[in-house]
Structure 1
């Protein structure tokens, strides 16, 4: 059985004359998250990928400093935002997509398997009947192999589960925004022990991405500083990952990866913002509804994760 989505993405990447997006990265050191503004230089149509809504868990205070930086860039360059794209329901930062939509427009989108995440975490947070577990908080849900455009840029969606069941990558022109599927070569791969995560699926998703042409540009959603490096970076290539990814370079078998990833995940603490992040991000970045006193609350389920 052929992988039509992979084949379509590879062909798209090969068509470099037509498919070279302009990319601006915004790095949030508080959450080690990279937000991308991607636009077509011919039409100035744009997408924003994996935005950050600033949240202080100690005080419960929120702000939009990170998102405002993106907004300033969009306005300065005269871009027209068509899409607000999420690679998955993040567990390490809150999404600013609704705020950006209010200020800039665009459709909020994610992969169709978000419904699985909504079902699991809707139960954990006892979200009640007001929370629809059908993906309807988002404007659009993408399936594997779906295609769309940002101006004249071709975009192909690839379902890359493993870190979560809903992870997708966006192939935009000759660049791929891979979410948390993997990190820079010297940092390796994402954890696979969240509900619905699967190390074996993650390996297969990584190898699927690494089947794209060697020159394909890969853009990470996060960067951390491994020993021996003192600068944050978030762009690499398929060739560099295949040669040097410390967890999944060419020659590492699926069973070897699963053993390493499973043992490593057992040593990791939960992300600092997992509880606020997931209950907001499963709602497409919308906060829970106000209660009868006019306040909004984020829940902390005791002994729940």
Structure 2
């Protein structure tokens, strides 16, 4: 990735101020930044996202230009034209058996549906943008025989044309929650399936799926309803989350009679509806992947175990 020359011994902020001064002066005349947007854009374009953010505090107009540039980058990066987003979500005991899920791009969404100006976005607005993906079974993983699957593994739909992924959750008597390990990686595929020439981890965490939450989500009349309640966040900063719908178990597997204070064994099926990744987090991962790809050029390809 191209970089702009810096002055040795000076901070990014000092260099940015020096750049800003040169931006404004052409043949000794002080020019309005609005008259030189194209020139400034071409100057700033080679900088990484982190460097652009360090220029934003210079003044309001530079901040506005940086914001527009970053927004363009977010929109361009989200469909992942050169990369692939994969999700692993499994019960701890099923780590070696659960195949990864592919993530199909659906668009950019704003947190809680809050409106964001397209003409004059604020820098803080960009953190409210999320890239939306549909977790589905990759074709190569749908071919795995069901006889090899464990009861709690993520499973494909019975319909061979349906790539919807589901996850069984079983709670024993008195058990208040189950845990799912969740890992999201940005990869670039190599010449063979399961071989990657770049591999950037976005999040690696644990989701707790509580009994009360399962019962509440399963009782919803409209399973397609989308709100913050049916999102389980993988990290504490809400950078990556999974939206599930919950289907109750077959009646023969559920308790016939239970009191208000009873916590009998229950079984639910989670349906993967959406993977949400904060767009700014994704953009940083895409840039890191590009750097990693150059560094790994000509070296051994990365092998991802879940694809084996």
Q: Which TM-score band (shorter chain)?
A: under 0.3
TM-score calculated relative to the size of structure 2: 0.21
TM-score calculated relative to the size of structure 1: 0.21
Which is helix-richer, 1 or 2? 2
Larger radius of gyration: 2
